[in-house]
Amino acid sequence: MKPNQTEFKNTDPPYWVAWNQALASIRVRFSRHAITCLGIALGIAFFASMQMMSLGEASGPDAASQASRLKWLVLTSLIMCLVGVTNSMLMSVTERYREIGTIKCLGASDGFIVKVFFLEAALLGAIGSVGGSIFGAGLMGLVLAITEKFPGMGPFGLVVLLGTGIGIVLTVLAAIAPAIQAAKMPAAAALRIEV
């Protein structure tokens, strides 16, 4: 028989427990996560290609007249990518409220739940945005190369880095916000939600 527990010394399990949970989730729901990843990649590809185009055009002869129009394009692409990524990640959290509630019942701290989603999102975000920004910047680079406006490998690398950074940050933020909200919910409420 267990003695009365009045002393509460709880520490989170080591990081690999959360990491295994995140990996298992990605492995088992592979196609679901592949689509999420593709969504992130496409959003970032659009942004990266617009960024690349603006760099290419800016080096061209009629740079001044193009500059403001391109600025708007880049901004629009960023917003579209933001909406796309946020939507993908929101879906992947909300469809798992029940799982969150269950894990809470097993004794997971709020922090553990957020950690799992953080790791998952960071991994998906990294894969999606590296792929997306290389694809987007590369494709636009090819198009620009045909018209001899390719801005060079330096700017190309910068665009890829920028796209990757923005992609990971957006993905993680978009996943963490609903995950924190879900983790803070009373377990009963999370279990009740049917998606």
In the complex, the smallest distance separating the C-beta of residue 178 from another protein, rounded to whole angstroms, is 18
Closer residue to another protein in complex, CB, 77/104: 104
The footprint of another protein on residues 53-82 (CB under 8 A) is: none
Q: Is 180 exposed, middle or buried (0-12, 13-18, 19+ CB in 10 A)?
A: middle
Closer residue to another protein in complex, CB, 105/161: 105
In the complex, the smallest distance separating the C-beta of residue 127 from another protein, rounded to whole angstroms, is 18
Using alpha carbons only, give the angle 45, 46, 50 rounded to the nearest 5 degrees.
115
The Cα–Cα gap between 137 and 144 comes to: 10
The gap between the terminal CA atoms of the chain, to the nearest Å, is 40
The footprint of another protein on residues 9-38 (CB under 8 A) is: 9-11, 13, 17, 21, 24-25, 27-29
Using alpha carbons only, give the angle 127, 133, 138 rounded to the nearest 5 degrees.
130
* Contacts with another protein, residue ranges (CB under 8 A): 1-2, 4-6, 8-11, 13, 17, 21, 24-25, 27-29, 98-99, 101-110, 112, 184, 186-189, 191
